Amino acid sequence: MSKLSVLMVVAKYPPDFGHNTVINNLCKNLNDLGYRTAIGAFSFDSDPPYNIEKVKLNKTKLLISGVDYLNFDIIHSHQPRVNYYLLFRKPNKPIIMHVHGASSTIHILNYKFSMLLFKNRITKTIAVSYSAATKIKQLIGNIPLEVIYNGVDTDFYNPELISNFKKGSPQLLFVSGLRKYKNTKILISMMPKLLEKLPDAHLQIIGDGTEYETLQNFVTNKELEKNVELTGKIIDTEQLRSYYASCDLYISASSLEACPVSPFEAMSCGKPLLLYGIDSHKEIIEFSHAGLVFNSLNEDEICEKIQEVFKNKIHFGKEGRNFVINHSWINVSKLFINLYENLCKH
């Protein structure tokens, strides 16, 4: 029996948010396991890595013929807005909707509308955390739903990496797109208080986005250039993992996440976590035991928790590494293979 073929679908490639990492790694590992996978999009700004096949989608064809003209056994959608084209015609093959998280009110409304309109044509919905699954059920009601966490390359991101970017102690790291709901300004504004307790502390922020310039000006106005560094977006993963290797703890004050990839990469490098206490962050800490949460955006509380995590960084780091070993991309890919094969049996 030949192995199944899977088309991962987004509106444009690469997508604007972090699920680009998820799509690329799923394709790579499924291909390595002998499954034909490709990325389908209406437009491509760049080629996918790892020699992943790309398929340029035709909106008119999809509206007239549906997904049946696509030569794949399973269609795995990663963005709600593509559902209008994928599901306009009733499909004769399994359609998976992978919900990575909602980053705005428009995104949430778009997801809710497309799901309510087409939920009977979606074979299975994937949530990336149990907290995300709860929110999906609140929005849509009961639907065929499964939770599969995002993965991490546990060989590439590992505790033995060489530290090339050490600039302080403790060195704090945040990796993300810089948008308002990420609350990155709080991390910068608490630095003077932290420096009173830990005068060698340093914060590195990796990423770009709508808030980058505002944050850079804020650092300058607060005269924190020696203690806060905004690197911009780092595409080179070799360089990125060296930043993880250089930090003492990973910190995030984001108020909206489903299953962020960066904390998993940090844990894979043996680094402890300090995360703002939203449901998805609490879930990560509860299951991994890799650090602590802070329950308010109060600077004093954040500083106290930083000191506590820093004191116990070796213990938390080991717990996190043990947790992510079970969530390597190869293990996550095998979960999807089981799902694909079960769906094609019915």
Q: Would you kindly state where each structural domain of the chain is located, as residue ranges?
A: 5-151+328-345, 171-325
- What local confidence, expressed as pLDDT, does residue 102 receive? 56
The token duo for 96 is 């998976």
What mean pLDDT do residues 247-273 have?
96
What mean pLDDT do residues 5-31 have?
92
- What local confidence, expressed as pLDDT, does residue 103 receive? 53
Tell whether the model's pLDDT for residue 299 goes beyond 60: yes
How would residue 345 be classed by pLDDT, with cut points 50, 70 and 90? confident
CB of 248 within 8 A of CB of 313?
A: yes
Bridge partners of 204, per DSSP, are 173, 229
* b/e burial code for range 101-117 (CB count within 10 A of at least 16 → b): bbbeeeeeebbeebbee
Establish whether domains 5-151+328-345 and 171-325 are of one fold.
Answer: yes
Task: Provide the CATH topology of domain 5-151+328-345.
Answer: Rossmann fold (3.40.50)
What is the H or E stretch that residue 292 is in? Answer: strand 291-294
Contacting residues for 118 by C-beta, under 8 A, at least 6 apart: 83, 84, 87
How would residue 142 be classed by pLDDT, with cut points 50, 70 and 90? confident
CB of 266 within 8 A of CB of 245?
A: no
Terminal CA-CA length for the chain: 16
pLDDT digits (tens, 9 = 90+) for 57-94: 999 999 999 999 999 999 999 988 899 999 999 999 99
What mean pLDDT do residues 127-135 have?
92
Percentage of residues in the chain with pLDDT exceeding 90?
84
Rounded Cα distance between 126 and 5, Å, is 18
Tell whether the model's pLDDT for residue 187 goes beyond 80: yes
How would residue 112 be classed by pLDDT, with cut points 50, 70 and 90? confident
DSSP code at position 122:
-
pLDDT digits (tens, 9 = 90+) for 320-343: 999 999 999 999 999 999 999 999
The token duo for 149 is 């966490």
Mean pLDDT of the chain: 94
Instruction: Provide the CATH number for the domain formed by 171-325 in this structure.
Output: 3.40.50.2000
pLDDT digits (tens, 9 = 90+) for 201-221: 999 999 999 999 999 999 999
